[in-house]
Amino acid sequence: MKLYLSRFLLAIPLLLSISCKTETKSIPTVSAKNTVQYAKGFSLHNYDGYSILTVQNPWPKATKTYTYILKEKEGIVPDSLQQNPIIAVPVKNIVVTSTTHIPSLEMLEEENTLVGFPHLDYISSEKVRARIEAGKVKELGNNKDLNTEVVLNLQPDVIIGYGIDNNNPTLDNLQKSGLKVMLNGDWNEETPLGKAEWIKFFGALYGKQKEAYELFAKIETDYLKTIKIAKMATTTPTILAGDMYENRWYLPKGTSWGSLFLKEAKGHYLWKETSGTGSLSLSFETVFEKAQNADIWITSGQFASLKEMTDKNPHYAQFAAFKNKNVYSFSGKKGKTGGILYYELAPNRPDIVLKDIVKILHPDLLPSYEPFFFEKLK
């Protein structure tokens, strides 16, 4: 900065205006306020003609930060930022790689820009399924092994990828081929509102930041309102979560996204003291010893009925929650090709998830509300 200032002071008056323009273009621009409040995985700073979108945690324990410049049509990007990927916005067509990206496109009314996705059967959105059936969204194979030939033929303005580590050679190769790739780490957020706030990531890509902010503000307001309602509860039901998969019982850790819903709905999750954002892997015996008398059982999306559960494992019937038919699941709402809607929409709509759980735990607090994702198994 001192070097720039000295050059400015030494410049002759005739070149003063030219020098000022050069200085403005060269100085790193980092002063604008970050418009992201809850999400820890990205930040967004807006400037005249461009935005800086930085992704900090695309996967657990990531050590590298990824910076992207979103350039408007007439925007001028400073020299100091030119080394970063520059994406022209608003984007006109896009490839996304996680079902959690789909609701943001739909909420922003930009689902028609989607041109490719891996494992199309996983998508539940009715609007996007209609485009798939019309042949307007191409199958791209597997997330870790995208069909590069199809992607290159599509020539999307941007590819939104995600990873569980720093190893995705397919995305690297597509980037080397000249395509724009951005990483999205919504799945790595630790709080419900943090996950939902990633709609601002997509709002910035489409030049719809105002719309994204308004959509998120309503989700935030409804979520916080439901927390206040839950605090009025006079009981705190004990909760068992998850079920068996390949001889292990998987259930959320105590500081994970899923268990935070249970806490804020004023439930007593029996593994709330454990730490971490992933899942616990326990034996049946360990779970039964602690949770055999739990009031409520919230299972995964494996089962659609109590009979399906006991057909898979007769020992499920030993739990008090099963005997009392207080078992709930989100498996009922599926797309045409079997994709479970909860996995797609829930991270984007924590306000709905929280209302569902409050209704399950304290039905009298939301007398006229009908759960959207969850239903009691019969």
Where residue 89 sits, what CATH number does that domain have? 3.40.50.1980
Query: What is the per-residue pLDDT across 299-321, written as a single tens digit (0 to 9) for each?
Result: 988 999 999 999 999 999 999 99
Closest by CA position to 303, among listed 325, 331, 323? 331
Q: 203 and 108 in contact (C-beta within 8 Å)?
A: yes
Query: What is the per-residue pLDDT across 129-141, written as a single tens digit (0 to 9) for each?
Result: 999 999 999 999 9
- Asked if 123 and 151 sit in the same domain, the reply is yes
User: Pairing state of beta strands 296-298 and 279-282?
Assistant: unpaired
Answer yes or no: is 46 within a domain.
yes
Q: Model-level pTM?
A: 0.89
Number of H helices, E strands in the chain: 15, 19
Mean pLDDT of the chain: 90
Answer yes or no: is 225 within a domain.
no
Q: Say if residue 13 is preceded by a cis peptide, omega within 30 of 0.
A: no
- Portion of the chain with pLDDT greater than 90, in percent: 81
* 223 three-state secondary structure: helix
Q: φ and ψ at 253, to 5 degrees?
A: -70, 160
Query: What is the per-residue pLDDT across 216-230, written as a single tens digit (0 to 9) for each?
Result: 999 999 999 999 999
pLDDT confidence of residue 31: 54
pLDDT confidence of residue 168: 80
Answer yes or no: is 224 within a domain.
no
Distance of CA 10 to the CA centre of its chain: 52
- Asked if 259 and 343 sit in the same domain, the reply is yes
Query: At residue 285, does pLDDT exceed 80?
Result: yes
Pull the structure tokens for residue 335. Answer: 């797309």
Q: How many CA atoms lie within 13 A of 133 on its CB side?
A: 10
For residue 8, what are the domain limits? 1-30
Neighbours of 281 (CB within 10 A): 13
86 sits in the region (left: phi over 0; alpha: psi -120 to 50; else beta) called beta
